[in-house]
């Protein structure tokens, strides 16, 4: 069971934090950081707690969220330090955050059990006692007519759960660890969640599934806004295909340019254009290398999938496409067209923040903001979407390029391109969403069961539309992407007006 798609109080608090940090940045040149200490009291007003046992705890958690939203590290709870400690060093119009990207606010963590089978109060004390009969370790015992489990003896096999006719036995698991496809979350000495940063690929599924709002990623809202306020250097918004419908029905594709100008951006470009170019590159690589040089080829655009695949299957690392991702290609295209500009990638993904920090990519993308973070900027600037004037859409990407954000879209775009140039060739496709299923797919490929296949891996459920930084429900977002695809004047990537630029961008 997942919380994804349910709007909760955690979403409200996150949005308020992003909004306040955006306001702080927009007003920094006049007011400095003096308002930082007041922000927690605006977000959590009054003297009675709303969400937790103490209003003081609520505000303390908000303070750490504020720091993460500015790219700052969490404070050590054993030492006294104002919320603004070190904040001046992040006041710069350029990318900034101190690793790690994904963080756990320890005093917000509920210390959930990692894996525990328990008997609930629905036990009816039945005469048959099948739970006791099937337990291979005799961990189930009866006391006062009701079943109980010796936790020290239980091996969590779940047999007792499967035979209880009342459904009175259940498994408790830590939601963040269950959502993590990298097995990167364990317990610290106090039973609180802890991330093994050596394993983490920053997919953000833990933060999207923590029901206590204890996990957050670092943001570049403050730094991006400082760049927007610099009149000498234009900043362009490169909007990911998953943006369709994310900000509600009032912000249509025709209003995107006007909306982002309200935030201070020079203009908007569709990353779907980069997706078209990525498609062309991957199609060419697949045809020339599979199966003669490589047994299979995996797509490149999802950084969390790509890192997982190369890290856990190093002997097949060269089977993951080396094509530049749509984000990077769009950034390079913008910097070719507007020398000296800065580019902010606006998307659904936490892992893109990590990708943009790589040495090979750092000069192509200056900032990465999620839809959730940008919504805070719209709130801070009080942008009225309904009042905006409609303009032509930013560019003329193909339907295939715009479909990259939905599971299956990347592989189908590449296959369409191959079929166009090589109609005689059969294209075998295997796809997976969620890193656990992606790993299983690669295990099958490693065993030789997927030779000749094009593999599409997506770290998030449903594809990019299920990313940790999205605002809309996954089914709704998928429908909106379909609408935007339908409006495209070009269907396939090989029709792209920008294909001639690909050799230049690859250099």
DSSP-assigned states of every residue in 422-458:
-TT---EEEEEESHHHHHHHHHHHHTTTTTTEEEEEE
Average pLDDT over all residues of the chain: 94
Per cent of the chain over pLDDT 90 is: 90
- Rounded CA-CA distance 201/350 in Å is 9
- Rounded CA-CA distance 352/349 in Å is 6
187: Cβ contacts below 8 Å, ≥ 6 apart: 111, 114, 193, 194
Tell me what pLDDT residue 504 has: 77
Q: What are phi and psi of 369, to 5 degrees?
A: -125, 140
User: How confident is the model over 189-206, as pLDDT tens digits?
Assistant: 999 999 999 999 999 999
- Rounded CA-CA distance 282/202 in Å is 24
Tell me what pLDDT residue 1 has: 47
User: How confident is the model over 312-358, as pLDDT tens digits?
Assistant: 999 999 999 999 999 999 999 999 999 999 999 999 999 999 999 98
List the alpha helices (DSSP H) in 135-249: 159-163, 175-179, 205-209, 221-228
The model carries a pTM of: 0.94
User: How confident is the model over 35-70, as pLDDT tens digits?
Assistant: 999 999 999 999 999 889 899 999 999 999 999 999
- Rounded CA-CA distance 483/467 in Å is 19
Q: Return the CA Rg of the chain.
A: 25
Tell me what pLDDT residue 503 has: 80
Q: In the chain, what are the domains? A: 9-109+201-222 (no CATH), 115-173 (3.30.70.20)
Sign (positive or negative) of CA dihedral 472, 473, 476, 477: positive
Tell me what pLDDT residue 4 has: 63
Describe the chain by its helix, strand, coil percentages, rounded to 5.
Answer: 45, 15, 45
Across the 507 residues of the chain, what is the mean pLDDT of every consecutive 10-residue run?
Answer: 71 96 96 95 94 94 97 91 91 86 96 95 96 98 96 96 97 96 96 97 96 96 97 96 95 96 97 96 96 96 96 97 95 96 97 91 93 98 97 87 96 96 94 97 98 97 95 93 94 91 78
List the alpha helices (DSSP H) in 95-229: 130-134, 159-163, 175-179, 205-209, 221-228
407: Cβ contacts below 8 Å, ≥ 6 apart: 431, 433, 456, 458, 462, 463
Whether 376 contacts 22, CB under 8 Å: yes
CA torsion, ordered 328, 329, 332, 338, to nearest 10 deg:
-120
- Rounded CA-CA distance 489/402 in Å is 12
Q: What are phi and psi of 388, to 5 degrees?
A: -75, 145
Take residue 131 and report the two structure tokens written for it: 């739970």
Take residue 325 and report the two structure tokens written for it: 């991702």
Question: Which residue do the tokens 């599924």 mark?
Answer: 205
User: How confident is the model over 115-144, as pLDDT tens digits?
Assistant: 999 999 999 999 999 999 999 999 999 999
- Rounded CA-CA distance 305/181 in Å is 10
CA atoms within 13 A on the CB side of 276: 27
State CA 57 to chain mean position distance. Answer: 27
Question: Which residue do the tokens 């659904």 mark?
Answer: 348
Whether 48 contacts 55, CB under 8 Å: yes
């Amino acid at each position: 069971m997942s919380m994804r798609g349910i709007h909760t109080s955690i979403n409200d608090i996150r949005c308020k934090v992003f909004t306040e940090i955006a306001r702080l940045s927009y007003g920094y040149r006049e007011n400095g950081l003096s308002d930082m200490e007041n922000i927690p009291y605006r977000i959590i007003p009054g003297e009675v707690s709303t969400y937790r046992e103490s209003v003081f705890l609520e505000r303390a958690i908000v303070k750490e969220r504020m720091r993460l939203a500015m790219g700052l590290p969490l404070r050590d709870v054993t030492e006294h330090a104002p919320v603004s400690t070190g904040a001046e060093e992040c006041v710069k119009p350029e990318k900034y955050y101190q690793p790690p990207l994904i963080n756990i606010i320890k005093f917000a963590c509920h210390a959930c059990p990692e894996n525990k089978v328990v008997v609930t109060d629905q036990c009816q004390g039945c005469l048959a006692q099948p739970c006791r009969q099937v337990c291979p370790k005799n961990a189930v015992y009866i006391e006062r007519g009701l079943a109980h489990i010796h936790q020290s003896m239980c091996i969590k096999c779940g047999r007792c759960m499967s035979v209880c006719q009342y459904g009175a036995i259940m498994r408790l698991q830590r939601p963040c660890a269950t959502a993590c496809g990298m097995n990167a979350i364990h317990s610290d000495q106090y039973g609180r969640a802890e991330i093994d940063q050596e394993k983490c690929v920053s997919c953000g599924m833990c933060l999207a599934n923590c029901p206590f709002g204890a996990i957050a990623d670092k943001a570049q809202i403050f730094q991006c806004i400082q760049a927007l306020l610099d009149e000498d250097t234009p900043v362009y918004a490169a909007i990911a295909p998953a943006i369709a419908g994310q900000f509600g029905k009032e912000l249509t594709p025709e209003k995107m340019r006007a909306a982002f100008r309200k935030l201070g951006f020079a203009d908007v470009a569709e990353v779907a254009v980069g997706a078209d170019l990525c498609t062309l590159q991957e199609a060419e690589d697949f045809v020339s290398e599979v199966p003669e040089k490589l047994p299979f080829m995996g797509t490149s655009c999802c950084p969390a999938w790509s890192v997982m695949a190369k890290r856990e299957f190093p002997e097949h690392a060269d089977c993951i496409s080396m094509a530049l991702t749509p984000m990077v290609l769009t950034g390079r295209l913008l910097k070719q067209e507007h020398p000296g500009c800065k580019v902010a990638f606006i998307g659904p993904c936490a892992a893109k923040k990590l990708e943009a920090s790589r040495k090979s990519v750092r000069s192509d993308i200056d900032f990465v903001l999620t839809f959730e973070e940008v919504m805070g900027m719209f709130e801070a600037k009080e942008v009225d979407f309904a009042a905006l004037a409609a303009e032509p859409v930013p560019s003329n990407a193909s339907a295939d390029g715009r479909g990259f954000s939905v599971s299956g879209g990347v592989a189908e775009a590449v296959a369409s391109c191959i079929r166009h140039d090589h109609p005689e060739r059969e294209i075998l496709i295997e796809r997976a969403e969620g890193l656990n299923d992606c790993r299983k797919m690669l295990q099958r490929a490693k065993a030789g069961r997927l030779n000749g296949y094009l593999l599409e891996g997506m770290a998030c459920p449903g594809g990019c539309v299920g990313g940790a930084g999205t605002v809309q429900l996954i089914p709704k977002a998928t429908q909106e992407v379909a609408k935007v695809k339908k409006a495209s004047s070009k269907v396939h990537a090989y029709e792209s007006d920008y294909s001639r630029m690909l050799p230049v961008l690859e250099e």
